[in-house]
Amino acid sequence: MVKMDTGDTAWMLISSAIVLFMTPGLAFFYGGMVRAKNVLGMIMQNFFCIGIVTLAWSVVGFSVAFGPGNGFWGGFHFFALQDLSGSDGNIPYVVFVAFQLMFAIITPALITGSVADRMKFSAFAVFVPLWSVLVYSPIAHWVWATNGWLFKRGAMDFAGGTVVHANAGIAAIVLALVLGKRAGWPSGDFRPHNVPFVLLGTGILWVGWFGFNAGSALGANKLAGYALLNTQIATGIAILGWLAVEKLRDGKATTLGAASGAVAGLVAITPACGFVSPMGSIAVGGIAGVVCALATSIKGKVGIDDSLDVGAVHLVGGVLGALLTGFFATVDTNSAAHDGIFYGGPWSVLGEQALAVGATLGYSGVVTAIIALAIKYTIGLRMSDEDQITGMDEALHGETAYRFTSIGGGGSRTTSVTPVKVPEEVQA
């Protein structure tokens, strides 16, 4: 008979729902940062992830991630979601499957920001399920499954600094490199068309992140409380750090910078939220806000067209959070943790964090490149320059986001929204 705590189960059901809501939030976050002719294309990619990853996870993804295989591969014991009659702690196993599904959905959706404006939808439709099964699920197994090789070595990743953010971040950079630069980049006008959309998406992401992080305690308990509180603290402090960099570097603090700083803080605290103290979360958030803001200026110098700075926020933030966990983790917050260096722990704790980061970046980077190149030389990866000029919305989906009726009732016309002027380096 399944052991079940109704309070824990209720919390996990709620967490699952609000983590799913993060993906539409991400769609608005990214959609607002592109030009008006590409907003539906960005939203479509994110909603498509909800559909295709749900299918891939249900058939084979969950089994690969959490099956009883070996240290590197879960196998096919849970193929087609069979044999889910047991429990995971105080919650039914089927609830754990649903909760983890929402993580699997948003991770490839994060990648869409790096390839905005130029990836063919047909190529994206092939890339996502392959990447989900061949990259995301194995890394989730390594880090989170009780028989995963990194889990058994003691790597600490409470809610996805390596599995979600560093993983998606490096994949985003690799895919952007294989895909090539946008037509007209960097000299063209790529300013965001709707900053309020970005702020709306940020708010949805922030709320959903409480389920993302606090839900990873797998129960309505003290540890979930720490994870939620640490998430709020780090995110708020990261906003201040990002805005301070903007003010000193550019002379003005922007609303887009505030949104980007919030996401940077959310990313960095993700692996640490269930292991550090509230004071530790201040350090994590502050460092992330400053470092990620500075990292946004790198892409122009190295010539990588990471359209919406997925690398600067998710790759840098995820790696930073994972490594800082090795400094600030404390058993006072989580008895299952290892004390970090600042709490008297050995340097080997940081070494295990670095190993988890390195393994994630190496595997994800190589397999992503293989998948992307295979698609590039078969069905094609990139939209033509002509289609890029037309825009994703019309060229790929036959739609337009904005239609306005002329004053005086003389019919309708399609117009573009004048973009808000903001520095490119803060388009996170």
Largest Cα separation within the chain, whole Å, is 74
Q: Which two tokens stand for residue 289?
A: 């806000």
- Name every residue whose Cβ is closer than 8 Å to that of residue 156 and which is 6 or more positions away in sequence: 271, 272, 275, 325, 326, 329, 337, 338, 352, 353
Coil, strand, or helix at residue 382?
strand
Report pLDDT digits (tens) over 46-56. Answer: 999 999 999 99
Report pLDDT digits (tens) over 209-227. Answer: 999 999 999 999 999 999 9
Handedness of CA 134, 136, 335, 18 (dihedral sign): negative
pLDDT of 175 higher than 60: yes
How far apart are the C-alpha atoms of 356 and 167, rounded to whole Å?
Answer: 11
Q: Can you tell me the mean pLDDT for 394-398?
A: 96
Confidence class for position 187, pLDDT limits 50, 70, 90: confident
pLDDT of 421 higher than 50: no
pLDDT of 409 higher than 70: no
pLDDT at 407: 60
pLDDT at 300: 73
Q: Can you tell me the mean pLDDT for 190-198?
A: 95
Q: How far is CA 34 from the centre of its chain?
A: 18
pLDDT at 418: 45
Report pLDDT digits (tens) over 52-90. Answer: 999 999 999 999 999 999 999 999 999 999 989 877 779
Report pLDDT digits (tens) over 303-349. Answer: 899 999 999 999 999 999 999 999 999 999 999 999 999 999 999 99
Q: Which amino acid is at 284?
A: V
pLDDT at 426: 41
Query: 196-205, 327-336, 418-427: which has the minimum mean pLDDT?
Result: 418-427
pLDDT at 214: 98
Strand 403-405 with 412-414, pairing: antiparallel
